Amino acid sequence: MDTNTTAVLILVGSFFVMLICRFPIAFAIGLASIFTTYYLGLPMMQIAQLMVKGVNVFTLMAVPFFIIAGELMGAGGISKRLINLSNALVGWLRGGLAMVNIVASMFFGGISGSSTADTASLGTILIPMMHEQGYDDEFSTNVTMASSVQGLLIPPSHNMVMYAMVAGSVSVGRLFLGGIIPGIVLGIALMIYSYILAVKRHYPKGEPFNIKNVLVTLADSIWGLITVIIVVVGVVSGIFTATESAAIAVVWAIFVSFIVYKELTPVKMWHVIERSLGTLAIVMILISTSQVFGWLLTYLKMPEMVASAILGLTDNRYAIMLILNVTMLLLGTIMDMSAIILVATPILLPIAMTCGLDPVHFGVIMILNLGIGLITPPVGGTLFVGSAVSGVPIEKLIKTLVPFFIVMIVVLLLITYIPGIVMFLPNLLMPVLGV
């Protein structure tokens, strides 16, 4: 066995052994990199240099701002206003609260960009409301978790910023635009399934549709929704970079939460900072250690090995795209989303590009795959949050999640094999790469 093959086995093998032993993902990545570097006889100082290089990226500055903005808007009264707006729009349908849940996630996702934040914020309000109106606890929790994945696709999404950073010359603005239609398609698909189930189980309707109520709730929630306009329009038009728009979004969120809605107290603000720093610390450690891991993968020619293995199975582009989806779905069940983006993108993106996939198209496919992973055991972060919020054991949720998985995978296949769903808005509004 040659040196490179042994090094690959040490790198990948030790990483998965530590995952099985429940090491924190960042430590598993970092230690596996140290073991491999030592075996190869490379200078240990290179690890420190690569870790610093990994976080010394201007685009990366957008990530903490998006995290803080999402936490601010979640704690500042925006959640209940979005629920009121969603209720006015779709609450009159059969299974109205399920529809409200999905539409509210569509709105809230455009502010927080986080599946777990969406589930925690909206779930604490909507799941008890649905229980009181006779909805099954499992269904109430599952529709909250499944719809929260829209938040990863609909901009702003700090995961898309991370993908753009790892992928290289990929426009954040084009990625943001690429996620809008798939996010809406996912929401519509979930609404169709929820409506069919609501009719079958005789779930209640809400109050009749009232245009005056829609206008009143829209006026009340518009301050929060302006956050999305600031980010998306600012980045797409070229007025702001992603980092600048994220910083402005934080300032706007503070203004709305403190001055307009007056629901963000100093105590709440402290908790917002605390949660944001906790999330950011995890993300930054992951990025720095993944930089070393990714460099070693490239040094050992792992991307070429994986590409040769996949292309050796078939040269059919549709089959290769299916293999890539299955690979990402499987990775999503055992690894953290951020870690997969950082580690797997350099390996899988070149393969996708050999099939003719635009990096923006592949990025959206990856985000949805990994979003499904967030509600899949054994490491699905959103699944754990949903269970904690609702009090329903994970074992019960998993059984009833199967139809939602099917709906989401159908949407995944649609956006994979119909590129126009992703690429229509980027090609229409930003035909030239580079923002």
At 395, give phi and psi (nearest 5°).
Answer: -60, -40
Is residue 52 within 8 Å of 19, Cβ to Cβ?
no
More confident residue, 128 or 339: 128
Please give the Cα distance from 66 to 164 (Å, whole number): 15
pTM (two decimals): 0.82
Residue whose tokens read 């696709």: 153
In angstroms, how far is CA 409 from the centroid of its own chain? 16
Q: What per-residue confidence (pLDDT) applies to 434?
A: 44
Beta bridge partners of residue 205, listed in sequence order: 94
Of 150, 162, 174, nearest to 61 by C-alpha is 162
Give the number of other Cβ atoms within 10 Å of residue 121's Cβ: 28
Please give the Cα distance from 348 to 365 (Å, whole number): 12
- The CA-based angle 184-342-415, given to 5 degrees, is 25
Band (pLDDT 50/70/90 cuts) for residue 111 is low
Band (pLDDT 50/70/90 cuts) for residue 433 is very low
Torsion-angle region of residue 335: left (phi > 0), alpha (psi -120 to 50) or beta?
beta
Please give the Cα distance from 215 to 217 (Å, whole number): 6
Q: Which two tokens stand for residue 148?
A: 């929260």
Q: Which two tokens stand for residue 405?
A: 């998985």
Q: Which two tokens stand for residue 96?
A: 């109205």
**Amino acid at position 183, single letter:** G
What sign for the dihedral angle of Cα 190, 161, 69, 373?
positive
Q: Is the peptide bond before 403 cis (omega within 30 degrees of 0)?
A: no
Q: What per-residue confidence (pLDDT) applies to 164?
A: 87
Band (pLDDT 50/70/90 cuts) for residue 435 is very low
Band (pLDDT 50/70/90 cuts) for residue 23 is confident
- The alpha carbon torsion through 164, 330, 305, 59 (nearest 10 deg) reads 10
Residues in the chain: 435
- Reported as a single tens digit per residue, the pLDDT across 76-96 is 777 778 788 888 888 888 888
Q: What per-residue confidence (pLDDT) applies to 109?
A: 66
Q: Which two tokens stand for residue 348?
A: 């899988």
- Reported as a single tens digit per residue, the pLDDT across 222-247 is 887 787 777 777 777 777 777 787 78
Please give the Cα distance from 50 to 27 (Å, whole number): 16
Mean of the per-residue pLDDT values for the chain? 83
Please give the Cα distance from 305 to 298 (Å, whole number): 10
Is residue 311 within 8 Å of 354, Cβ to Cβ?
yes
Q: What per-residue confidence (pLDDT) applies to 363?
A: 94
Highest-confidence segment of 170-179, 206-215, 418-427: 418-427
| Percent of the chain whose predicted confidence (pLDDT) is above 70 | 96
More confident residue, 113 or 13: 13
- Reported as a single tens digit per residue, the pLDDT across 30-65 is 898 899 999 888 888 888 888 887 777 666 677 777
- Reported as a single tens digit per residue, the pLDDT across 390-412 is 888 888 888 889 999 999 999 99
